[in-house]
Amino acid sequence: MCSLVCGCITDFFTYETTKSVVVKSWSVGIINRIVQLLIIAYFVGWVFIHEKAYQVTDTGIESSVMTKVKGFGYHHGHVMDVADYVFPQQGAGVFCIMTKLIVTENQFQGKCAESAQMFNCSTDADCNNHFGAIRSNGVITGVCLKPSNDSNGQCEIEGWCPAENDSVLIEPMLDVNNFTIFIKNSIRFPLFDITRGNFPSTMKAEEIARCTYHPETNPFCPIFRVGDVLNYTGQSVASLAEKGGEIGINIEWKCNLDLDIEYCIPKYSFTRLDAPFAKNTITKGYNFRFAKYYKTENGTDFRTLHKAYAIRFDVMVTGNAGKFNTIPTLINLVAAFTSVGLGTVLCDVILLNFLKGADQYKAKKFEEVSEAQIEASIAQSPGSQQSFKPGIKSSYDSGAISLTASDQPV
C-alpha cells in the first residue's frame, strides 16, 4: 500500500527540465547573443525606462479649479470691474471675460419693426415667408411695417421691443490685455491618495500677489496676464476682442510618485480651442445674450438686452500619476523573459537551414518517432507496456543491445 502512495509522492516531487542541445558554433553563438542583447536593450531602455512599464498608472485625476479675475476696463463710457465683465461670477473653471457689449436698453414686451436687413419687406406676403423664423429678434407676425406706402419696410415682430440691432460698430474693450487671472487648482489621485496644489505651499502671499506667470522665469506663479495667455496661443487681444474666442488653459500633471512628491508639479499650456472652426465665419468667435430686468414704477417689466462678445477660458486639468507596482512589473518581466527566448526562433532558422552542417544540427536537435517505430517497439517488448519507469534509458539500452547483437558477426 505504502509503495503505491510513496511512488505517487515520489513521482510528484520530480523536477522536469527541458533537454537542451548546446551548439558550440561561433557564428550562431554570436548571432544568438546579439539578438538577445537587442531584445534586452529594447525592454530595459524603452519598455522599462522610457515607458515606465513597471508602474501602475492612475488616470482618474480629481480636480477642483477656482479662478479670480482682476482689472478694470473702459467700455461704453463706464469703468467695468470684475462684477461687470466676468460670467459666471462665482469663479468657476470655465469663465468668460466680456470684451464687447451691444446694449439694447429699455425693451418692453410689444410689437415693433425687426432691425435685421434680411427681414426688410415691401408687402405682408414677404413677411409671411419668414413665419417661424428663429434668426429674428421676436416672433414674426406677418405684417410689413412701412414708414410710407411707397418705401420699403421691415417685418413686424412680437416680443421685446425695440429689436436689437447687432450690426452697430462698437470699439471692443482692449484693456482686457492687462487683466490678470488667478488660478487655484487642487488635484487628487484617488488611487494613491495624493493631493497637490498648483503652487508651492512655501510661496508667500506677497510673492503670489506680485508675480506673473512666465513659462521659464516664473513657471509656478498662479497669476496669468490675459495678454500673455493670448500670446502663448499665437493670438492677440485685437484679433479676439472683436468677435470673441475660446482659449484653453491646460494644466497637466504628470507625476512619477516613485520620486519625491515635490517633483509632482503642474505644467501649463495654452491653446485656441475654436481653432478647428477658424475657417467658418458663422461659427467663429464666441458670443451670448443676457438681460438685466427692471420694473417701472407701475410694475411693468422691462429689460436691457446685452449681446456680449467674450473670450472664454476653459481651465482643463489632465494628468496621471505612476507608481511602482508588482503586477505590471511582473507581466512585463515575463514578456521580456519570454521575448529573450523568442530569439531562439530566429537562431534556429539560421542554424537548421543556412549553416554548414545544417542536417547534422537537425539530426541533433530533432529526435524522430514515427507510429511505425512505436508499433514495432510494442510488438518487440510487450512487457515494457506496463512499466513507465524504465524510461528512455532502458529503451536505448535495449536498442543498443539488439543492434550490437544483430550486427555482430559472432
Q: Which of residues 366-385 bind a second copy (CB under 8 A)?
A: 366-371, 373-375, 377-378, 384-385
| Contact assessment for residue 309 and residue 243, using Cβ atoms and an 8 Å cutoff | yes
What whole-number distance in Å separates Cα of residue 158 and Cα of residue 344?
Answer: 84
Work out which of 20, 149, 167, 217 binds a second copy, going by CB under 8 A.
Answer: 20
Question: What Å distances lie between residue 372 and 120, 340, 368, 379, 403, CA to CA?
Answer: 101, 37, 11, 11, 18
Interface of this chain with a second copy, residues 105 to 164, rule: CB under 8 A: 105-106, 109, 132, 134-135, 137-139, 158-160
**Which residues have C-beta within 8 Å of that of residue 81, sequence separation ≥ 6?**
72
| Contact assessment for residue 262 and residue 278, using Cβ atoms and an 8 Å cutoff | no
Work out which of 283, 300, 324, 353 binds a second copy, going by CB under 8 A.
Answer: 283
Task: Please say which residue, 122 or 402, places its beta carbon nearer to a second copy.
Answer: 402
- Cell numbers standing for residue 349: 532558422
CA–centroid distance for 131 within its chain: 46
What whole-number distance in Å separates Cα of residue 187 and Cα of residue 210?
Answer: 24
Which residue's C-alpha cell is 438686452? Answer: 305
- Which span (123-131, 147-155, 235-243, 351-359) binds a second copy, by CB under 8 A? 351-359
Least Å from the CB of residue 79 to a second copy: 4
Least Å from the CB of residue 257 to a second copy: 16
| Site size toward a second copy, by CB under 8 A | 174
Cα-Cα-Cα-Cα torsion 390, 393, 396, 397, nearest 10 degrees, comes to -80
**Which residues have C-beta within 8 Å of that of residue 354, sequence separation ≥ 6?**
none
Least Å from the CB of residue 383 to a second copy: 11
**Which residues have C-beta within 8 Å of that of residue 309, sequence separation ≥ 6?**
98, 99, 100, 101, 172, 241, 242, 243, 244, 285, 286, 287
Q: Is 243 in the site for a second copy (CB under 8 A)?
A: no
Interface of this chain with a second copy, residues 42 to 81, rule: CB under 8 A: 46-47, 51, 53, 59-60, 62, 64, 66, 68, 70-72, 74, 78-79, 81
Task: Please say which residue, 25 or 256, places its beta carbon nearer to a second copy.
Answer: 25
Task: Please say which residue, 236 or 395, places its beta carbon nearer to a second copy.
Answer: 395
Work out which of 250, 256, 265, 329 binds a second copy, going by CB under 8 A.
Answer: 250
Least Å from the CB of residue 68 to a second copy: 7
| Contact assessment for residue 302 and residue 81, using Cβ atoms and an 8 Å cutoff | no
Least Å from the CB of residue 151 to a second copy: 27
Let me know if 254 is exposed, middle or buried by CB neighbors in 10 A (0-12, 13-18, 19+): middle
Q: Is 389 in the site for a second copy (CB under 8 A)?
A: yes
Interface of this chain with a second copy, residues 211 to 240, rule: CB under 8 A: none
Least Å from the CB of residue 193 to a second copy: 10
Q: Is 335 in the site for a second copy (CB under 8 A)?
A: yes
Work out which of 37, 38, 238, 330 binds a second copy, going by CB under 8 A.
Answer: 330
Q: Is 178 in the site for a second copy (CB under 8 A)?
A: yes
